[in-house]
Amino acid sequence: MSAVQSVRYWSTQAVPQAMRFDYWMSVLRESLWPVTEWYGLSPDFDVELWEAPLGCISSMTERISAHQARRTRADVESSGERAYLLFANVEAAWWTSHNGHSQLLPRGGVVLMADGEHETCAPFGFGGVILKCPADWMHSWLPDPELLVGRGIAADSKWGGVLAPMVRQLTPELAVAPPLPHSVLVDQLGAVLALLAGEAETRAVPELLRRIQGCIRERCSEPRLTATDVGISLNLAPRTVHHILAASDLTFASELLDVRIEVALQMLGSPSFRRLTTAEIGRRAGFLSGSHFARVVRRRTGHTPLELRRATL
């Protein structure tokens, strides 16, 4: 490693060929994050990485030969600080699979990667700019960065046309001789990401609402089900679950209660459940006790569960 005007530089060419991979693993742990499973490496595997601080984020330029890599659960658990990586691809297209999205990132595209498990495949190598953004900074601009994670942002899209050239310009060389204060450059980046996230959220609301409601219906029988549980199932932050429901004038508690009552009423009217007590039906619908079930049903329908059952006989 050498330093030139505060730009740090790593190159596998500086070590014997047999030691290149191990050297690269140590660089990854120091500058990016651990990724230990690699495939399809050629005998002349080669990497160059330049890095310089840009305010609270870190700017890097990377060139790496053909490879396929997978970040595992063990890699995630061995990582230190939480961060997001914003990749701007300036050379050959490569594949990413992350956060439920698998796609080809063309030349000029941008993708945001979180520090969870993911896979990449670069059959022709990768060349581009990488911005390492601390999780706290990212969350200060994006309430839920997961809305953008793993989704390729095309350079010719509305906000991608602004973001892509911005990221490509935020190189380590610019970081050590910036045209504007670091804080201004970093704030510009955060503002554009926020606009992108807002647009992504607007597009995603109907589909996310459908998924949230479907998950609540599937798991309503769990007495202590929470928005956090639903969020974990769908890979969403709990606040996103609440926000998506609120956008449709719903709350998690009301939606869960409505589904439980609907399920219970179906069982009360079904011959298949005649042998069950009304208290057991309430329990199977997710209510904590028979008395609570009876009170809720009476407030909602004006009748007790037993009266509703008798009405269907």
What SS3 state is found at 70? strand
The confidence score (pLDDT) of residue 230 equals 94
The confidence score (pLDDT) of residue 213 equals 94
Strands 83-89 and 110-113, bridge-based pairing: antiparallel
Name the maximum alpha-carbon separation found in the chain: 86
What SS3 state is found at 50? strand
pLDDT at 4 over 60: no
pLDDT at 312 over 90: no
pLDDT at 15 over 80: yes
Per-residue confidence band for 199, with pLDDT thresholds at 50, 70 and 90: confident
Stretch among 66-70, 194-198, 199-203 having the lowest mean pLDDT: 199-203
The confidence score (pLDDT) of residue 240 equals 82
What is the CATH T-level fold of the domain 2-202, as seen in this structure? Jelly Rolls (2.60.120)
Two tokens, residue 309: 């059952």
Per-residue confidence band for 5, with pLDDT thresholds at 50, 70 and 90: low
Domain regions of the chain by residue span: 2-202, 254-311
Query: Residue 297 carries which side chain, given as an amino acid letter?
Result: V
From the options 2.60.40.10, 1.10.10.60, 1.10.760.10, 1.10.260.40, give the CATH code of 254-311: 1.10.10.60
pLDDT tens track for 19-35: 999 999 999 988 999 99
Distance (Å, rounded) from C-alpha 110 to C-alpha 76?
A: 22
Per-residue confidence band for 2, with pLDDT thresholds at 50, 70 and 90: very low
Query: What's the chain's average pLDDT?
Result: 90
Per-residue confidence band for 204, with pLDDT thresholds at 50, 70 and 90: low
Distance (Å, rounded) from C-alpha 218 to C-alpha 235?
A: 16
Percent of the chain's residues with pLDDT above 70: 97
Q: Cβ(282)–Cβ(294) under 8 Å?
A: yes
Per-residue confidence band for 3, with pLDDT thresholds at 50, 70 and 90: very low
The confidence score (pLDDT) of residue 47 equals 95
pLDDT tens track for 133-153: 999 999 999 878 888 888 888
* Phi-psi domain of 161 (left: phi exceeds 0; alpha: psi -120 through 50; beta: other): alpha
With CA atoms as reference, report the closest residue to 36 among 76, 85, 89. Answer: 76
Q: Cβ(54)–Cβ(167) under 8 Å?
A: no
The confidence score (pLDDT) of residue 313 equals 66
Q: What is the mean pLDDT of residues 262-281?
A: 92
pLDDT at 293 over 80: yes
